[in-house]
Amino acid sequence: MLHKLPLIVATAMIYLLVETYIAFARPISVPSPEALALSKDTQALRVLAQHQVGTLTRCESLVLAEALAGKVAICSVFAPKDRVVTGVFLKWILTDPKAATFINHTVVSIENASINDTVMLEGAEVSPPVLFTDSTLTSLFVNRSVLKGGLTISKSRLSNLYFGQSQLSDLSVKDSSLSSTLSLVDSDTKSLSVSGSVLRNVDVATSTFDTVSFEKVTIDCLRFSPSTVRANLQFIDSWTKNKADFAGLKIEGQFMVDKSHFLASPDSCGTEFRDSNSDMQ
């Protein structure tokens, strides 16, 4: 056995040399200039955010990184307590001029998040499209603002959605529930589209639209007081539980109703509904 020892040692040395050569011969993965720049921007944006709003939640940190990359921030990878996004953070990332220099031409898309406090945008100009999916929101108030990329709410739950003296390229509510009021006052929206959703109140006053569409929607109370639809207004397979008010509504295109049910009656929403909307303004 001893006479075989030099052979065993030599074999082991050869094996070690071969493995070492293979390890060093493997190509080293070098990040692309684009990836390096993105990582640098993410760090810079995170420092800026923390300076403005404080310590970020894990979901908020992901929103920053994915907004820079133009991707969806999917917060379901975190525990429920880490999926929180604050109203202060949302207001900052959507309206702060310095933040806009990083994400002005991408998208702010958030999935599986909990926004537990009110988001208020006042006198803001938001360029990127904003999307909430499978999320919970308390209330979003947009006043005297411009949402160039529009707003989409999908498979989400919220209380109030209010727009006053604002402009939107499009407002889309899909497969969602709204427990209080969707309100547009003195606003201009190219496209209002609501589908597969349950809304308690819809209140539209002195506003203009290119098109308005409700499809597979249930509404407790609907009021379209003096407003203008420049093209078509359509209700498809929708239901208004109480009465609908279309007093003073001007439709320059077609009013199309298919498989829908509502009763048109002035002032059907009552004083309580009017008071709840005046409190938002």
46 or 185, greater pLDDT: 185
Dump pLDDT digits (tens) for 42-70: 788 888 888 889 999 999 999 999 998 88
What pLDDT sits at residue 8? 52
Q: What is the mean pLDDT of the chain?
A: 84
- What is residue 41's predicted lDDT score, i.e. its pLDDT? 77
Mean pLDDT of 112-119: 94
Question: Does 148 score more than 90 pLDDT?
Answer: yes
On whether the CB atoms of residues 174 and 196 are closer than 8 A, the answer is yes
Q: Looking at the chain, how many residues does it have? A: 281
User: What end-to-end distance do the CA atoms of the chain give, in Å?
Assistant: 94
CA gyration radius, the chain: 27
Helix (H) or strand (E) segment spanning residue 192 = strand 188-195
User: In one letter, which amino acid is 253?
Assistant: G
Report d(CA 165, CA 31) in Å as an integer: 47
In this predicted structure, the answer to whether residue 146 has a pLDDT above a threshold of 90 is yes
pTM of the model as a whole: 0.81
Query: What residue ranges do the domains of the chain occupy?
Result: 32-117, 124-281
pLDDT at 34 over 50: no
Region 240-256 average pLDDT: 89
| Whether the predicted pLDDT of 247 surpasses 70 | yes
- Residue 153: its pLDDT value, please? 98
pLDDT of residue 28: 42
Residue bearing the bigger pLDDT, 63 or 264: 63
CA distance linking residue 190 with residue 167, whole number of Å: 8
Q: Quick check: 261 pLDDT over 50?
A: yes
